[in-house]
Each structure stands twice: as structure tokens, then as C-alpha cells.
Amino acid sequence: MSTPDRDRGHRACLALCLALIIALAVPVSALDATFEVLPGGEAYQGAVTLVNESEYSFWKPGYLGETVSLEVRNVTVSGECGTNCTYSWKDKNTVSFQQGNVTVGYEADVEARDLQILMTEPSNITVTLPEGLSVSNPLLGWTSTGAAVTEEENGTTTIQWEKTVFAEARYYDPGQERLLYIFGSIWLTVAVVLLFPYLLLRRQKPPEIPPPEGP
């Protein structure tokens, strides 16, 4: 099976499993979630706004659509409790804090420049790509259903989803796009070289057959 076929199969399986993920995951009411991909595209910073909550769990979708713990670092909690609220780890991927309206911030890695965000409640999600990263070329980039992509004047890209539990953005850099054009040019040249003799023969007139001689 080709890579695009595997990707489509993975996304289809993921979509079918999301309902089960939401039902089994710890319920969290997220109003807004913003994610900023850091320069280089290997990591991102997230900020999730919660209403009247006392804990938050970090999740990501697994390859088969299952819920997998997300490894995070530099976790912060701010809001009604202050700008740097105290929190504790309830388990390996859940933080607990004073109940209220808070924003949970964190950093995490991105695998293969394919950012996947999983929420447990429909949320408004915003992803910002730095200058030099893009999703506009459909052969290299991809965004999940419902994405609104805006290329800003400063070179950054903003991607937004409304009321969704899952968002995905696969992005690339100019070097990857140049390689795509180079390989495309090579294959086009090979195709022309192979087809030229065939087309040349098709254009040649067939030899004239003399009429039969009379008796």
C-alpha cells in the first residue's frame, strides 16, 4: 500500500475512534486552545483555556486512534489563581490545581512535522506556523476537515478550527518544496525523452502502396 493510502486509512480509523476516545477520556471543558509551532517545526507551545476545572490531562491520538499520553514539559497554570498557580501531578499525564477558570500552558514535540491535537470537548483551536513553514502545497501539506487557513503578511500562517475535538496540520519548509520541484522536473524530463521517439514515429507518414498493375 502506498504512503497516501496508509495516511487516508489512518485518518479514517482515527475519525471512527474519536467518539470512543471522548467517551472514555476525563471530561474537560475547553473554550479555546491555541498552539504555536516553534521555529524549525520540531516542537510547539500550547495554551488551553478551561472553565471551572480543577485538573487537565494531556492526550494525543495513537497510530490506531487510541488515546495515548502526551509527553509535555514547561507546564504552567494561570488564571483566577494568579499568573503562576501551584499545581501537582495527579498521574503521569494529568495535572491538578485549584478549581476555577484557568489557562494551562505547556510545550511538546511534533513528530515528522505532523501536528495532531486531541481535545476531550469541542473547542475552538488555533494553530500558528512560523515564517518558513506552510501547508499550502497539497502534495506536501495537509489540514484536517474544517480548517480555515490564513497566510499573514508577516510570513506566518494561522489555521483555525471551530468546535472540534481533533485538529491536524502537516506542514513543510521551503527545502522540502524545492526537492519536490526538482524530482518533478526530473520525472517530466524522463517522460519526454521516452515519449519523443514514439510521437515522432506517429507523425511520420506511412509508405505509399502503389496501385496494382492492370492485366
The predicted-structure confidence for 85-130, as pLDDT tens digits, reads as follows 999 999 999 999 999 999 999 999 999 999 999 998 899 999 999 9
Residue ranges per structural domain of the chain: 3-172, 173-204
What DSSP string describes 103-161?
EEEEEEE-STTEEEEEEEEEEEEEEEEPTT-B---TTT-EE-TT-EEEE-TTS-EEEEE
Q: What is the DSSP letter of 172?
A: B
3-state secondary structure of 19: helix
Q: Are 128 and 156 in contact (CB under 8 A)?
A: yes
Q: How far is CA 189 from the centre of its chain?
A: 32
Question: Mind listing the pLDDT tens digit for each residue in 20-69?
Answer: 444 344 444 447 999 999 999 999 999 999 999 999 999 999 988 889 99
- Burial bucket for residue 56 (CB in 10 Å: 0-12, 13-18, 19+): buried
- The DSSP secondary-structure symbol of 48 reads E
Cβ–Cβ < 8 Å for 49, 30: yes
Question: With contact defined as beta carbons under 8 Å apart, do 120 and 48 qualify?
Answer: no
pTM for this entry: 0.76
Band (pLDDT 50/70/90 cuts) for residue 189 is: confident
57 touches 94 (CB < 8 A): yes
pLDDT value of position 11: 54
Measure the CA–CA gap between 127 and 36, rounded to whole angstroms.
6
Q: How far apart are CA 146 and CA 163, in angstroms?
A: 9
Q: What is the pLDDT of residue 190?
A: 77
Per CATH, the number for 3-172 is: 2.60.40
Of 25, 46, 23, 203, the closest CA to residue 115 belongs to 46
DSSP state of 82: B
Share of the chain above pLDDT 90, in %: 64
Rounded to a whole number of angstroms, the distance between the first and last alpha carbons of the chain is 67
pLDDT band at 209 (very low <50, low <70, confident <90, very high): low
